[in-house]
Amino acid sequence: MHVDETTVRKIARLARIEITDAEATGLVDELSGILDWVEQLDEVDTSNVEPMARIVPIALKRREDVVNDGEMRDKIVGNAPMEEDGFFVVPKVVE
Amino acid sequence: MSTSDLTKLTLAAARDGLAAKDFTSLELTEAFLNAIDHSNAALNAYVLPTADQAREMAKASDERLAKGEAGALEGLPLGIKDLFCTKGVATTACSKILEGFVPEYESHVTANLWDAGAVMLGKLNNDEFAMGSSNETSAYGPVINPWRRNGKEDKLVPGGSSGGSSSAVAADLCLAATATDTGGSIRQPAALTGTVGLKPTYGRCSRWGTVAFASSLDQAGPIAKTVEDAAMMLGAMAGHDPRDSTSVDVPVPDYAVSIGESIKGLRVGVPKEYRVEGMSAEADALWTSGIDWLKEAGATVHDISLPHTKYALPAYYIVAPAEASSNLARYDGVRYGLRVAGSDLIDTYEKTRAAGFGREVKRRVLIGTYVLSAGYYDAYYLKAQKVRSLIKQDFDTAWNDVDVILTPTTPSPAFALGEKSGDPIAMYLEDIFTVTVNMAGLPGLSVPAGLSSEGTPLGLQLIAKPFDEAVLFKTGAVIEKAAGHFKPAEAWWATA
């Protein structure tokens, strides 16, 4: 699968990673190369195969629906690059 | 006993020495801190030595030892891969984007180790977010392998992503180390440094508090000097944790009792699909030696077929980046780590992630975003997960006829810095023998088996059924006994 520069820029936008023009050019070849290489999976007939969901068949554990964690606001914002009064600070998003 | 002799001890011998009061945990810890001081400049194995913390933990251990309250790893100094969150100690996954992040909590695996009495020497280098097979993608620079080629001084890679762990164990800068394995990141570095590396069954160790890469593949395990040491480490690291829903609630056996057990009658499978083009003649020859050693110990050897082997690596390079792109979405410059101010929120995200992620991480996040994007999910991710079912079925069929599978760990020995870093697919092929095990969720052990013609280590890999780590330890111990132990000829990395 060949990806063009427009596609690379679209993916980078979806992934929220700014890329330079030089990076975009390089990524066209790199991503196309990797996608070409994974295309060998088309040789495998998977028409009657279920996708893998788990390694060992275990049922998820249940517990009572009660609060068992919390009351740690200061710890949660403790590593924020910008924090004010216990809130994360972001650039203005609503005009 | 001199200081350098203390660092050469195995984990088991150090435990016995502490019990016999031959030395204290503080003496043992000081010996390692001194070795790190004199070696880390050359090897770059530790990104953050934690000397003060190590001394405090060692003193507390000495008190518990004196009172007869010793845990299974009491007073034993370990290195911790920087992917494990450690409370109050910076944890970066060796990425710029986690610069300055100091966890408020302890990962389940490391908490288990401290509960067992172990001492933390520091945080070990790794490929950024564990994405790499040479430890060259770390934001803190590459780790150097203590092994060199005969008569050469070229710097060799220690494998990756757990390259700090493998280098530190091989150079006696810790008794053993924690590591993680998503596609081979414990076993490949172990093979390239003459150390023992175990990837446990998916679900054996909790993933809680370990920086996530690809959640359906990630598993923590040890890198150690001997098979017995790896068994001791796993015994302490493993266990059920309700905070990880994929952690499996099965008892943790005493793995150390497997060491020295007979393998008479054990059925060993040798998969023909692992005899790949490009495998070095010496890796092939060593594989044959491994077969002979196991036969001599009473095992029977059987040719088996794992027909979907060649598809494991391409399927992995869909599944792992897809899960990574999702997991790494959390690095947004808002909640922790790096933030680069932009003109608006989206610009802030984009600038932060552009500055914070390294090249390989960006490449994988972009591939993952592509294969999960509208219209491509079925063609890539779903297809890969179906191929994954076929890979697992291959193994399920094999288990009807054999108890354990023997393969080389890597096709070739350690390579030089820069040798493969320009070609992503050449680097990805480093994991060709290890990645199948992650895709099927099985346990795998790499044991040093010999030296290449260049004088550098090569490993053999053993693969077992889910939760049968015990058979890996007993079979690995047989290979270890036959092959012997491998140490670099001289400690060229240590300054006086």
DSSP secondary structure, A34-65, as one string: HHHHHGGGGGS--TT-PPP--SS--PPP---S
- Which among A16, A37, A49 has CB closest to B350? A16
Question: What does the pLDDT average to over A53-77?
Answer: 89
What pLDDT, on the 0 to 100 scale, is given for residue B1?
63
User: What chain B residue is nearest to A86 in terms of C-alpha separation?
Assistant: B335
Question: In Å, how far are A33, B6, B135, B404 from B130, measured between CA atoms?
Answer: 22, 31, 8, 28
Which among B311, B335, B338 is the nearest to A41, CB-wise?
Answer: B311
> DSSP letter at B334?
S
DSSP B308: T
pTM: 0.97
Per-residue pLDDT band for B237 (boundaries 50, 70, 90) equals very high
Across the interface, which of B248, B342, B389 has its CB nearest the CB of A51? Answer: B389
Written as six digits, the tokens of B223 are 């890198």
Are residues A92 and B344, on separate chains, in Cβ contact within 8 Å? yes
Whether the Cβ atoms of residue B352 and residue B115 lie closer than 8 Å to each other: no
To the nearest whole Å, the CA of B99 is away from the closest chain A CA by 10
Q: Of the candidates B221, B171, B211, which has an alpha carbon nearest to the alpha carbon of residue B46?
A: B171
Active-site annotation holds for B343:
no
Question: What does the alpha-carbon distance between residue B184 and residue B219 come to, in Å, rounded to a whole number?
Answer: 10
CB pairs under 8 A between A and B: 159
Output the pLDDT for position B429: 87
* pLDDT for position B427: 85
Q: How confident is the model at residue A56 (pLDDT cuts 50, 70, 90)?
A: confident
Whether residues B311 and A63 touch (CB distance < 8 A) is answered with: no
d(CA B480, CA B477) in angstroms, rounded, equals 5
* Interface contact A79-B202, CB threshold 8 A: no
The side-by-side arrangement of strands in the sheet containing B404-408 is B46-49, B119-124, B77-81, B176-181, B219-224, B196-199, B444-451, B457-464, B404-408, B267-271, B300-304
* Residue B81 annotated to the active site: yes
d(CA B437, CA B398): 13
- Taking contacts as CB-CB distances below 8 angstroms, the residues of chain A near B207 are none
Which of the residues A9, A34, A47 would you substitute to probe the B interface, choosing the one with the greatest number of B C-beta atoms within 10 Å?
A: A34
- Is the omega angle on the peptide bond into residue B161 within 30 degrees of 0, that is, cis? yes
Chain B residues with CB under 8 Å of A7 CB are 370
Instruction: Please give the span between the terminal C-alpha atoms of chain B, in angstroms, as a whole number.
Output: 19
| B49-91: pLDDT as tens digits | 999 999 999 999 999 999 999 999 999 999 999 999 999 999 9
**Exposure class string for B440-461: b at 16+ Cβ within 10 A, else e:** bbbbbbbbbbbbbebbbbbbbb
Instruction: Return the number of other C-beta atoms located less than 10 Å from residue B401's C-beta.
Output: 11
Q: How far is B333 from chain A (nearest CA, A)?
A: 7
Contact residues, chain B, for A43 at CB < 8 Å: 311
- Nearest C-alpha neighbor of B244 from the set B436, B107, B84, B47: B107
Tokens of A63: 């517990």
pLDDT cut 70: percent of chain A above it: 100
Q: What is the DSSP string of B366-422?
A: HHHHHHHSTTTTIIIIIHHHHHHHHHHHHHHHHTTT-SEEEEESSSS---BTTSSTT
Q: What number is the ipTM of this complex? A: 0.96
Q: What are phi and psi of B270, to 5 degrees?
A: -120, 105
Active-site position among B61, B161, B247, B446: B161
Residue of B nearest to A49 (CA): B386
Query: What are the tokens at B360?
Result: 């390989």
pLDDT band at B270 (very low <50, low <70, confident <90, very high): very high
Is 90 exceeded by the pLDDT of residue A53?
A: no
- Report the C-alpha gap between B233 and B203 in whole angstroms: 16
Taking the CA of residue B60 and the nearest CA in chain A, the distance in Å comes to 27
Q: Do B425 and A72 touch (CB under 8 A)?
A: no
What are the structure tokens assigned to B450, written together?
A: 């010999």
d(CA B83, CA B175): 19
Q: What is the reported pLDDT for A1?
A: 73
Q: Does A90 sit within 8 Å of B370, measured CB to CB?
A: no
Q: pLDDT per residue over B113-169, tens digit each?
A: 999 999 999 999 999 999 999 999 999 999 999 999 999 999 999 999 999 999 999
CA dihedral (B234, B239, B244, B250) positive or negative: positive
Which tokens in the block code for residue B9? Answer: 């001890």
* The residue type at B134: S
With CB atoms and an 8 Å threshold, state whether B386 touches A49. Answer: yes
- Tell if the CB–CB gap between A17 and B104 is shorter than 8 Å: no
Q: Give the C-alpha distances (Å, rounded to integers) separating B473 from A56, A91, B175, B221.
A: 21, 54, 18, 13
Q: Which of the 8 DSSP states describes residue B272?
A: G
- Out of A19, A49, A75, the one facing B104 most closely (by C-beta) is A75
- Tell me the chain B residues in contact with residue A82 when contact means C-beta distances shorter than 8 Å: 334, 339
Nearest chain B residue (CA) to A60 = B245
- Residues in chain B with CB shorter than 8 Å from the CB of A71 are none
B251 residue type, one letter: P
**Cα–Cα distance measured from residue B257 to residue B473, given in angstroms and rounded to the nearest whole number:** 9
Spot the catalytic one: B25, B61, B81, B95.
B81
Q: Is residue B453 annotated as part of the catalytic site, yes or no? A: no
To the nearest whole Å, the CA of B255 is away from the closest chain A CA by 21
Residue B163 phi/psi, 5-degree rounding, is: -70, -30
Tokens of B208: 């809680």
Task: Count the neighbouring beta carbons within 10 Å of the beta carbon of residue B417.
Answer: 17
* Strand B77-81, strand B176-181: pairing: parallel
Pick from A17, A63, A78: which is nearest to B350 by CB?
A17
Token output for A46: 């998977």
Average pLDDT for residues A3-24, to the nearest whole number? Answer: 96
Instruction: Give the H or E element holding residue B180.
Output: strand B176-181
Give the pLDDT confidence of B365-418 residue by residue, as tens digits: 999 999 999 889 999 999 999 999 999 999 999 999 999 999 999 999 999 999
Query: Of B190, B221, B47, B43, whose CA–CA distance to B123 is shortest?
Result: B47
Instruction: Tell me, rounded to whole angstroms, the distance of Cα B394 from its chain centroid.
Output: 25
Rounded to a whole number of angstroms, the distance from the CA of B67 to the nearest CA of chain A is 35
Average pLDDT of chain B? 96
Nearest to B389 among A15, A52, A92 (CB): A52
**Percentage of chain B modeled with pLDDT above 90:** 95
CB A72 within 8 A of CB B328: no
Confidence (pLDDT) at A61: 86
- Cβ <8 Å between B342 and A91: yes
Nearest-by-CA chain A residue for B395: A55
- Reading the block at residue B462, the tokens are 């053993």
Rounded to a whole number of angstroms, the distance from the CA of A61 to the nearest CA of chain B is 8
Overall average pLDDT of the B326-344 stretch? 96
Chain A residue closest in CA terms to B344: A91
Amino acid at B82: D
The answer to whether B451 and B457 are in contact (CB under 8 A) is yes
What is the Cα–Cα distance from A70 to B104, expressed in whole angstroms? Answer: 13
Whether residues B387 and A37 touch (CB distance < 8 A) is answered with no
- The pLDDT value recorded for residue B226 is 98
Separation between Cα atoms, residue B312 and residue B386, nearest integer Å: 11
Model pLDDT, residue B413: 95
What is the band of B21 on the pLDDT scale with cuts at 50, 70, 90?
A: very high
Nearest to B366 among A15, A37, A90 (CB): A15
Contact at CB, B386 and A50, closer than 8 angstroms: yes
Separation of first and last alpha carbons in chain A = 41
Tens digit of pLDDT for each residue in B300-331? 999 999 999 999 999 999 999 999 999 999 99
Given a contact cutoff of 8 angstroms between Cβ atoms, the answer to whether B250 and B203 are in contact is: no
